[in-house]
Structure formats: structure tokens, C-alpha cells
Structure 1
Amino acid sequence: MSKIKTINKGFDLLRLGALPRCPAGLAPILHDVGVKAVSGKPVILAPSARSRFSARLQARFELSEKAMKAGHIPEQADRATLSALMADEKASRVKVSLDENRPSVLIRSIPGTDDFGLRGPIAIRPKDLASYGAKGVLCIENRQVFDALENLCFPILPKVEKHIAVFRGCPEYPQSGSETALKLAGIPVIVFPDYDPSGLSLAMSVPGMAEILWPGRRALIEAINSVGASQEKYMKQTPGSRRKLDSATHPDITEIWQILKGFGRVPAQEAFLSSVPDVEF
């Protein structure tokens, strides 16, 4: 079964709650969220596992928010359509030129500190980030975490006092936009990455990165030992990130990397949220 067909079967499972035959490509994702699944056999997705499965499906195939809302990827889609739906699809790897006058950077306030007059997430031009007068930036890799900061399970204040949150990027909000905004703002950046090899490696290249936001050793290990942690993701990402991470000197990066290597698994990012917003179709 092709990757696009597997993704669409995942969307079917989210909509219907069950499939007569589980595709081989979905079985590991279902195992990650605690659902028993055997390739080729019937599978049932309980309502309580829907949000976790949705998040893992999006992360596994690097689907954009547009794809998640559409709930379907056309199998005969052209390159432009795939570019907007699948970040990792080879056919979609076309360069996106940054229009600095287009609102392409997603920002929001951080609960418990200065709201900078924001009443929710908004898209701004890269050059406008500096105008908010923030002390620093919290750059967030994961869109669900960005949307649900109110539901974080670990305290982030006063570390991010008077900071403004910026989403790192996706096909709808290109990473080039957020990186341009960070460079132009010229203020310290605290990075909230995905706690996996690729996420840590990417965090090292964020312009202005001063430190990593993470819950600490004990909470990270608890998440690694909880439902949703993935050995498959660790094994898939490590070859491309090991050399860079092994030579890292930033103390936050090195400590988190040593923990991940010790367990050989990575936590589900939604493990750090008390609740995960449902994806609407």
C-alpha cells in the first residue's frame, strides 16, 4: 500500500472509529498510542485514543494542518498540492520563496505573562515580530503544543516571562518565515523542540537559540516510559542526527540526548499536555 493510501486509511479510522483491515503502515502508530492492532486484521479506535492517534499520524507522516483539516490526500495530486499537505513527500520538495510582506509567521501570547495585546494566534510578517517589544521568543516546534500552551503539564514561568511564542513552521507557515523573523528581531530565543533526535538537531540551528525548554530529567524519563513513546521513531531519526548531537556542547541538548540514547525511545510530545485539542475535519 502506498504512503498516501496509508495516510488516507488513517483518516478513515479517525472518522469511522474502525477499519475492517489494519494497514501495515498504521499498526506501529496504533501501538504507540496503546491500541492493539495487527496488520490485515480489524482494528477499533476508541474515542479516548482519537486525539493521540491523530497527533501521531500527523507526526509520523509530517502532515500539515491543512491536510489534517481536509482529512484526505488526493492520490493523483500535483506537486503544488502535495507541497501544502505533506512536508516529507519527495514530490513536494519544491523551494518556497519568502514574501516578506505576506503574514507568514504564526505567533501567540504565553499564558501567565504579557499578552502583547494578542487575543489568540495570529499570522504576522517576519519584519513585524520586533515591534511587539518582547524580551525574548519561545520558538515552538510542535503545532499542537503551540495551540495548547495552557495545557502544559510542567511550569515554564518565570523562564519565559515577557516572551512571545512563535511557531517554528510548516508548509502553511514556512520555516523560512519564522527564522527570518527571529534574525530580524535579534532577541534571545528559547526553543521548545520535539524531544527526539531530529527535534534536538533542528533546535541547534534556530537563530538566536539560547536554551532549550524542557520539563527536566525526571519528567522526560516518565514520558519516555509512558504510552505513546516510540522506539521506531528513535531508530529512524538517529542515523541522520547522531553525529551532530554527539558533538553538541550546549548543556540542555547534551543532557536530553544522553537520556534518549539511554532508553532508545522518544516520548510522544502530547505526553506533556494535560489534554490535546481534537482535530476538526
Structure 2
Amino acid sequence: MEAARTGRVKHAGKFICAQLSNHGFQVRQGWKGVLPTRVKAAIRSDLVHLYGVAEEQIDVALEADDKSRAAGLARYGDDKSGRAPVMNDRIMIRAQPGQALNIGGAQIHMPDGAIMSIDTSTAGLHEAKGIILVENEEVFYRFERLNFPVPACWRSYTVVFRGKAHVARQDTCEDWLRGLDVPVIAFPDFDLAGLVFAAAVPRVSGLLWPGVARLEEMLKRAGRKDLFEAQSTYLDKASRLEEPFADAAGTLIKSGRGLNQEAFLNLAGRAA
């Protein structure tokens, strides 16, 4: 409907490509551009005569709410017309073991391992002494099973997950972090790209890691040369990182290995 109204395609998926092909206009998936007038007219005709769409409905511009599946069902009779993921504009948080979440003046105690998904308006009411930003979903869910202790000064910090497009969007999370006035502690994958990206996190002031000696030991035991080599384009940036990232980056570069964040989980129990 948007293509028939505007004559433009923003991103041609498999279905759009097939429809355009039916009218003699071949494009690859991912194509974007202006449709020939005849193709635009043909699509409009298909919508009206094959799919039963009211012609006046085609000419109504999309509204922001139309992106949700509920709005798509109400407006167009098709829930699939709303393609926005339900979990957009939400923040995923959890407390560390024995700690509470403070939201809007209320202390919320949750079961061990429980997580909370809150929308950005509720997230604005969240009161935290600090944030530990986790880049790996499994580590976020099993944070109480780290195989090294969180420094005592950070044990009351809220744990936040960032990085999955349809669950915890990076841009949504970073916008929220920019609005906070608390320290942010990065806990990334310990590879070149992971450290470079962590250093660019809004308000970042610390790195959660076990220290040089423990990291060296883990890199020897579970480090991956292929991971390091695949991220060689980040080598220069990583070598120029400053504290609190410089020591960790130097350790990686010295070993020539990278480490996935899951390596820091002790699945048999909790950290000491």
C-alpha cells in the first residue's frame, strides 16, 4: 500500500520482489528506489481488485501507531501489516543477587534470575546507583553464575542487557543511558570489537572483568585465535584504547586470542 501510494520502495523483501516481477519489473531483495508509473498503477490495481482494499485506504499515509500488529489489524484488517517488533522501545533489566530494583520510589524484589522488561517511560522512573551493561543474552540471564566476583562497590548496580534487535535495541538502550546521571560499567565480549564498542558506550566509566592474570589464564584455556583474526580491522583502535580498557586490550593483543562472554559463566554454581 505504501509503494502504491508513494511510488517508492524502501526495502524490497521476498514478497515485494515477487509482486514486482509479476509486472515485469525485476529487482533483487533489498532494492530500494522509485517504481515506474506503470508498475505503481499495476500494484494499485492488484490491491483494489485482487485483495479487496478500499481505494481511499491506499491514499491514507501511514501513522506511527500503524507499525504495531494490533494497529495493523484494526486499521487494515491484517495484523501482519504492522511489522514493528512488539519489544521495540523497551529496556531489559535485572537486579544482582540479593538486591532490589528501585522504580518510581518502590523497591521491587524479584526471584533469583528473574528479569524485567520495561518500556522507556517506566525506565525513566528507574533509580539506580549504577548500571552494568551486558552484551550477551545468556550472561544477562545467568549473571549470578559469573566465575569471578563483582567488585563490592558495584554489587548494587542494576544489570542491563543491550544488543538484540527485537528484544533490547541498542539505540533505545543507549538513548536511555544518556539520560542517566550514574556510572555505566561495560561487560562486553573480550575480543577486539567488543572492547572497542564498549569504550563507546554512553557514560561508560568502568569495565567488569577478572583482571590481567585471570584473563590471561582464560585466554590460554578457552581463547579463540579465529575470533581475534576475524576482528583484525579493530586492532589499531583496540591498541589505542585508554583505561579502563587499555589493560584488557593489551592482554588480548599479547595473546592473539579473543574470548566470548559465555566463558565467564560457571554453570555449576555461583561466583566466589
Q: Give the alignment's TM-score, normalised by structure 2.
A: 0.61
Hey, what does 1:246 align to over in structure 2?
239
- 1:229-240 alignment, distance < 5 Å: 229-239=223-233
Equivalent residue in structure 2 for 1:209, among 200, 204, 207: 204
What amino acid maps onto 1:224 in structure 2?
L
- 1:8-47 alignment, distance < 5 Å: none
- 1:1-281 alignment, distance < 5 Å: 78=14, 103-116=89-102, 117-119=108-110, 120-172=114-166, 173-227=168-222, 229-239=223-233, 241-249=234-242, 251-275=243-267
Q: Distance in 2 between matches of 1:216 and 1:243?
A: 22
Q: Distance in 1 between matches of 2:230 and 2:157?
A: 34
Preserved CA contact (<8 Å) 1:148 1:276:
no
Segment drifting more, 152-161 vs 187-196 = 152-161
Preserved CA contact (<8 Å) 1:192 1:214:
yes
| SS of equivalent to 1:159 | helix
Q: Deviations over 1:34-73 (max 9, x none)?
A: xxxxxxxxxxxxxxxxxxxxxxxxxxxxxxxxxxxxxxxx
What amino acid maps onto 1:192 in structure 2?
F
Preserved CA contact (<8 Å) 1:194 1:269:
yes
CA separation of 1:118 and 1:78: change in aligned 2, threshold 3 A = farther
Q: Distance in 2 between matches of 1:135 and 1:114?
A: 12
Q: CA deviation at 1:155?
A: 0.6
Preserved CA contact (<8 Å) 1:220 1:267:
no
Q: CA deviation at 1:111?
A: 1.5
| SS of equivalent to 1:195 | coil
The percentage of aligned residue pairs carrying the same residue is 28
| SS of equivalent to 2:221 | coil
Q: Which has the higher contact order (CA 8 A, sep 6+)?
A: 1
Q: Give the alignment's TM-score, normalised by structure 1.
A: 0.59
Q: CA deviation at 1:276?
A: 8.3
| SS of equivalent to 1:185 | coil
| SS of equivalent to 1:225 | helix
The size of the alignment, in residue pairs, is 185
Q: CA deviation at 1:274?
A: 0.8
Q: Distance in 2 between matches of 1:223 and 1:237?
A: 19
Q: Distance in 2 between matches of 1:257 and 1:149?
A: 23
Q: CA deviation at 1:238?
A: 2.3
Q: Deviations over 1:158-182 (max 9, x none)?
A: 1323211110121112101110111
Preserved CA contact (<8 Å) 1:106 1:121:
yes
CA separation of 1:148 and 1:169: change in aligned 2, threshold 3 A = same
Preserved CA contact (<8 Å) 1:136 1:163:
yes
Q: CA deviation at 1:198?
A: 0.7
Q: Distance in 2 between matches of 1:176 and 1:136?
A: 19
